Amino acid sequence: MKRFIGIALVVVMVISMVGCTTTETDTGTDSKKVTVGVSMPTKSLQRWNQDGENMKKILEEKGYEVELEFAENKTESQISQIENMITKGAEVIVVAAIDGSALTNVLDSAKKDGIEIIAYDRLIMNTDAVSYYATFDNYNVGKIQGEYIEEKLGLKDGNGPFNFEIATGPLDDNNVVFFYGGAMDVLQKYIDNGQLVVRSGQTTREQAATPNWDEQEAQARMDNILTAHYTDERIDAVLCSNDSVSLGVQSALKSAGYGTSDKPMPILTGQDANIANVKAIIAGDQSMSVFKDTRALAEKVAEMVDAIVNGEEAEVNDTETYFNGVKVVPAYLLEPKFVDKTNYKELLIDSGYYTEDQLR
């Protein structure tokens, strides 16, 4: 009888131990799931929807609780959403900032609560609360755009003069400094020697800005440029820093009679390889876009989250470039690639980023 009772007690203890081990999450931290906040700028651009959903999916597969919010390009909303993430006990918050200079106070509060911040794709300025920055090589994005224009116009061979305009992004997005800088490091010498003629005279980042990357803003500005400077001249190329800006420029050009056999579209760049823009590339309305595989960026950020939660240093490959006004933020840069009519199937369809049906 005593022997039977002893065996029974051992069985109960084993069952109890098994029950305890099955409550742990995939993060391997403790029995409570770690909460990660993900703050995205807006749902109005395709890429941020993709970024947010990719991040949520990957983090949840790793066992995290994910608080995903979109601020609809309202800085006040983003601040409020981050405050809610702090209140809900997030241990890490991933932020793609609307205004990289407006989050100092809320992120300082997060730091006081021991919360780690990862800047996602856009550098967050004027705070030491940012632990890491994950992005693509944004200088190279602009360089790729500039080199594409250089090649297609034959500028290295001395061809020209060509009429050329610039359409960048908002002044409160620090990435634009790198996009513009990379492109102009290629193209400025051709403006200086007269091979590229900017008839509007709007050559600075400030003059060529597009608030909130807004398509309608880009269209309105290009409408004005065309009316004022191109009644008897044609534009040969437009440096558009991203795809929404490119769509706005395309609309203005088409309203002015471009896009016909007699008046073909100029060379137009872009960035993000959004579906509408890839369709425009296939149709011949846009020349190229810079493809940034957001799946890879989400994976890299998830790896950073793992490192932070486990008390380790995250992998970075740049510790010099990204000074935010207070500190140099350790960064991991992924490499972008250009996509045009010649390679979109290989880069976008064969890789599973899009299906053929999505691009029809």
Q: In the chain, where are the structural domains located?
A: 35-136+293-329, 138-292
Predicted TM-score (pTM) of this structure: 0.86
Whether the CB-CB separation of 73 and 169 falls below 8 Å is answered with no
251-285: b or e for each residue (b if 16 or more CB lie within 10 Å)? bbbeebebeeeeeebbbbbbbbbbebbbebbeeeb
Same fold, 35-136+293-329 and 138-292: yes
Question: Could you write out the DSSP letters of every residue in 101-155?
Answer: TS-HHHHHHHHHTT-EEEEESSPPPS-S-EEEEEEE-HHHHHHHHHHHHHHHHTG
**Largest Cα span, the chain:** 106
pLDDT at 9: 39
- Residue keyed to tokens 């493809």: 291
pLDDT at 167: 98
Phi-psi region of 136 (alpha: psi -120 to 50; beta: other; left: phi over 0): beta
Class of domain 35-136+293-329: alpha beta
pLDDT at 10: 38
Torsion over CA: 310, 316, 322, 326 (sign): positive
CATH architecture group of domain 138-292 = 3-Layer(aba) Sandwich (3.40)
pLDDT in tens, the chain (360 residues): 444 344 443 333 433 444 443 333 444 444 468 999 999 999 988 889 999 999 999 999 999 999 999 999 999 999 999 999 999 999 999 999 999 899 999 999 999 999 999 999 999 999 999 999 999 999 999 999 999 999 999 999 999 999 999 999 999 899 999 999 999 999 999 999 999 999 999 999 999 999 999 999 999 999 999 999 999 999 999 999 999 999 999 999 999 999 999 999 999 999 999 999 999 999 999 999 999 999 999 999 999 999 999 999 999 999 999 999 999 999 999 999 999 999 999 999 999 999 999 999
pLDDT at 31: 44
pLDDT at 26: 47
pLDDT at 32: 65
Instruction: Report d(CA 255, CA 249) in Å as an integer.
Output: 10
CB-CB neighbours of 244 under 10 Å = 28
